[in-house]
Every structure is written in structure tokens, then in C-alpha cells.
Amino acid sequence: MREAEFCHPRLVAVYDAECPWSRDDDFFLAVVNETPCSRVLDLGCGTGRLALGMAAAGHTVTGVDPARASLEAARAKTGAERVTWLEGTSPILPDMAFDAAVMTSHVAQFLVDDDAWAGTLADLRRALVPGGRLVFDTRDPRARAWERWNPVASRRRIALPDGCEVVAWTEVTAVGDGTVGFTHHYTFPDGARLLSTATLRFRTEDQVRSSVQRAGFRVESIYGGWHREPVGSGDGELLVIARA
Ligand SMILES: C[S@@+](CC[C@H](N)C(=O)[O-])C[C@H]1O[C@@H](n2cnc3c(N)ncnc32)[C@H](O)[C@@H]1O
């Protein structure tokens, strides 16, 4: 099933267990906190980890995601009533409603086609007030992260809240021109085996920079790591901060 890790309730629970608060969340929260009490959009909010953290920090947060099962998991969490949760993608965003917008854990890479990416950036520009900031991460293709997505290196055990362990591993199924297709494999203690397939786009720094500028943003910074290292060092990331 395509992107089942966000849509299948059993896999959403695995995603949530596998992705606790981390240094990427620290980075995004620190950037958002530079403007206290902001109206913040979390596009592709998933199970809501960062949206809830930003709301707890005093921001007025809207979380948007197309995956209903992920949003249901978010809505069930402590503090969820502080966040406005919306099911959908960028066309549903209101005009000039946010001071900041984040897309985290590589949401940008799920927008594979150039037209889909340009449309999302245009909607984000429309949804931000003039001077509002867009902050997102996308993996630097030069770090070739997909080369570590193989059954041996990626094999992992994920402990669920009920104490059960899921065994998971990932294999790359296709490497194209700036795209990587892959499948996550999951085995549950009751013997159930589930798959989640997806394709990600790996944009170069130049492609990211020019697409963001074309959408009407000024790129303020691009970092290579969660501690604001230069591109090419750090964590193999392109961490973009742009102003509408
Ligand atoms: C890797 S998850 C990241 C979730 C969350 N931001 C986090 O940090 O855990 C990618 C998310 O992007 C969402 N997504 C996929 N396509 C999208 C689109 N076109 N617009 C917005 N979100 C999208 C998925 O449903 C999924 O929840």
C-alpha cells in the first residue's frame, strides 16, 4: 500500500513509536520560537508531535495532513485540543493566516513532481502574511541517504507502547533522476506482515533555492545540519528558512 505508514492505523502506531521528539524538532521549535505567540501552520503534520510541542510553547497552531489515520492519532494525544487539525493538502489553506509555516521530517520530498511542489509553495506563500517565514527540511542528495536503506543496515526493532516489538526494514526499489522509490517491511508479533511503499524526490540545493524563490520567498538560510552547520557538513540535510 502506498504511504501506508501514514494511512494504516497499525503502521501509524509504529511511525509514532519510531519517531519521538528529536533534534529536528528542537531545530524547528527554536526557529518558530524566534517569534513568540505566532500563528503557525504545520503542513504534513502527521501524528502531531511538533504541532503539539509548538502549541505547548504558546503558539496558535494548525496541523494539516492528508492522512486521516495520522490525524486521528494526533487528535487522541494529550493537548490535542489546543491545535486546529485539518485533513487535506495545501489548496485548503486560508489566505494570509499564518506568521510561520513548517514542513518537517521531509514532507517536501513527498511532493515528487515539480508542478506539485511549485503548487504547494505557491499555496504556502498565499497562506503566510507578508514577512512570514517558511521552514522545512529536505535531504541533500549529495549525502546519498538511500544507500543506507537496505535490508541489513535498516533492520530495526520498534517497541510499541503495549510492549510489543515490530521488526522493520527498508529496501530501495528504484533510483531515478532525482527520485528514489522504496518499501518499508513490517512484521508484527502476531505474524502480520505489512508493507508501505513511497517515492521521494531529492532536490539539489540549487533546485530548492530556485523553486522557493520562484514562489515569492526570499531564502534567508540553508543549513546542512540540525546545529546550523553549513551545507555539505552536518547531517546531510538542506534546512531551509525563507521569508514571504
Ligand atoms: C514523514 S511524515 C512527517 C510527519 C510529521 N511532519 C513529522 O515530523 O513526524 C510525512 C507526512 O507528509 C504527509 N504528506 C504527504 N503528502 C502530502 C502533501 N501533498 N501535502 C501535505 N502533507 C503531505 C503524509 O501524510 C505524512 O504525514
Which of the listed residues 1, 6, 11, 123 should we mutate to test ligand 1's pocket, taking the one with most ligand atoms within 8 A of CB? 6
Name the residue at shortest CA distance from atom 3 of ligand 1.
Answer: 105
Pocket lining: 45 vs ligand 1, CB cutoff 6 Å: yes
Q: What's residue 1's pLDDT? A: 78
Cα angle 195, 198, 200 (rounded to 5 degrees) comes to 150
pTM greater than 0.95? yes
Tell me whether residue 216 is exposed, middle or buried, using C-beta atoms within 10 angstroms of its C-beta: 0 to 12, 13 to 18, 19 or more: middle
Q: What's residue 162's pLDDT? A: 92
What's the CA gap between 87 and 178, in Å, rounded? Answer: 29
Q: What's residue 142's pLDDT? A: 98
Residue 224 near residue 231, CB atoms below 8 Å: yes
Pocket lining: 104 vs ligand 1, CB cutoff 6 Å: yes
CA proximity to 62, closest of 128, 158, 161: 128
Low-confidence ranges of the chain (pLDDT < 50): none
181-198 tens-digit pLDDT: 999 999 999 999 999 999
Question: How far, CA to CA in Å, does 66 sit from each of 87, 91, 146, 158?
Answer: 5, 11, 25, 25
HSE-CB of 135 using CA atoms within 13 angstroms: 26
What's the CA gap between 50 and 86, in Å, rounded? Answer: 15
What's the CA gap between 239 and 228, in Å, rounded? Answer: 8
148-164 tens-digit pLDDT: 999 999 999 999 999 99
Residue 120 CA to ligand 1 center (angstroms) comes to: 13
Q: Which amino acid is at 19?
A: C
Residue 89 CA to ligand 1 center (angstroms) comes to: 9
What's the CA gap between 142 and 43, in Å, rounded? Answer: 26
Q: What's residue 234's pLDDT? A: 94
